Amino acid sequence: MLRLAIQKSGRLFDDSVALLHDAGISFGSNPGRLLRTQAHNFPLEIIFLRDDDIPEYVEEGVVDAGIVGENVVLEKQRTVRTVERLGFGKCRLCIAMPKNTGYQGVQSLRDRRIATSYVRVLNDFLEKHTVRADIHEISGAVEIAPSLGLADAIFDIVSTGSTLLANGLREVETVLESEALLIADPALSPEKADVLDRLLFRLNANRNAKGHRYILMNAPNAKLGEIIRILPGIKSPTVLPLALEGWSSLHSVVPEAVFWDVLEQLKAAGAEGILVVPIERMIL
C-alpha cells in the first residue's frame, strides 16, 4: 500500500484528483472534510494535507509520496525525490516592483526591501547574483506590501499577472517556472516502489495518449512512398489494401506538436478521407 498526499483544497486539488481518476483509480473524495481515503481498486491510500506540509511529511516517511507545487518543494528544502513533472498548476515565481520604479537588472535590487513568503528561493537567487537585499518574510497578501510602504519590491507567484496589475506592480524578473510535481520518499520499500512504478506507468500512458493523435487516410498506391516518408509514426505506418484496386488505407500515430504540419503535407501529397481520432491510452 502506497500512501500519497494531495492538497486538501486549493488550486492543485481538482487536477490531482483528476490525475488519479484518469489513471483508473477510484476513491471517495470529499474536499474539506475527508482527511484520508483508500482507493477501491489500487493499493493506494490518499491523505489530504495543506500543500506546505507535504514535503516534510514525505521526507519524514509519514506519507510515501505527494503531489505539490515545485515552488513549495524548493522553498521547503526537504530531502525528497522528484519522480515526475505533472504539467498542471503552472505558475512562475517573479520579482515585481511598482510600475514607475526604474529597473536595470538584478543589481537594481541591491539594498531594496523585498516582501515574500518564499525566503529561501529568493535568497538563493540573490546569492547567485551576489546581490544583498533586505528580505521581509510575510505569509500572505504579499502584493499589497509596496503600496503599504512595507517593501520596495515583492517576490511571489504569478499566473495571469492580473493581481500584479491590480496592485500597480510590474514583473521585473522571473526566477522560477513552476508546475505540480510528484515527489516521493527517496527510500521506499521495494513493495511501495513497485506500486509507485505502477502508478507512473498509468500516468505516462495517459500523458502519451494526450500528446498524440491516431490518423487514418486513403491514398493511391503510387503516392504511398511519399506519404510514408511524411508520417512519423511509432515504428512505421500500417498499410492495408482497400477493396478499390490501386488504393490503400494508412494508419499512424502523430505527435500533437507536429500534427497540423503533417496534416497539410499529407493532403498536399495526395492523401484523401483523412480521419483523426483521439487516443485514450498509449504504452510505448
Q: Which residues bind Zn ion (CB under 5 A)?
A: 51-52
Give the contact letters, 178-217, x = binds to ligand PRT (CB under 6 A), - = no: x---------------------------------------
Q: In the bound complex, what is the minimum distance in angstroms from residue 50's beta carbon to ligand PRT?
A: 4
Q: For residue 184, what is its C-alpha cell?
A: 516521493
In angstroms, the CA 170 to CA 164 distance is 6
The gap between the terminal CA atoms of the chain, to the nearest Å, is 26
User: Residue 254 contacts by C-beta under 8 Å, 6 or more apart in sequence?
Assistant: 212, 213, 215, 231, 232, 233, 262
Residue 116 interacting with ligand PRT (CB under 6 A)? no
Residues between 12 and 31 with contacts to ligand PRT, criterion CB under 6 A: 12
Residue 269 interacting with ligand PRT (CB under 6 A)? no
- Report the partner that residue 237 touches, choosing among Zn ion, ligand PRT, none (CB closer than 5 to 8 A by kind): none
Q: For residue 272, what is its C-alpha cell?
A: 484523401
CA 72 to chain CA centroid, Å, is: 14
Residues between 66 and 105 with contacts to ligand PRT, criterion CB under 6 A: 69, 71-72, 89, 91
Q: In the bound complex, what is the minimum distance in angstroms from residue 11's beta carbon to ligand PRT?
A: 4
Q: Of 50 and 113, which CB lies nearer to Zn ion in the complex structure?
A: 50
User: Residue 255 contacts by C-beta under 8 Å, 6 or more apart in sequence?
Assistant: 211, 212, 232
Q: Of 51 and 143, which CB lies nearer to Zn ion in the complex structure?
A: 51
- CB of 154 within 8 A of CB of 172? no
Contact residues toward ligand PRT (CB under 6 A) are: 7, 10-12, 50-52, 69, 71-72, 89, 91, 156-163, 178
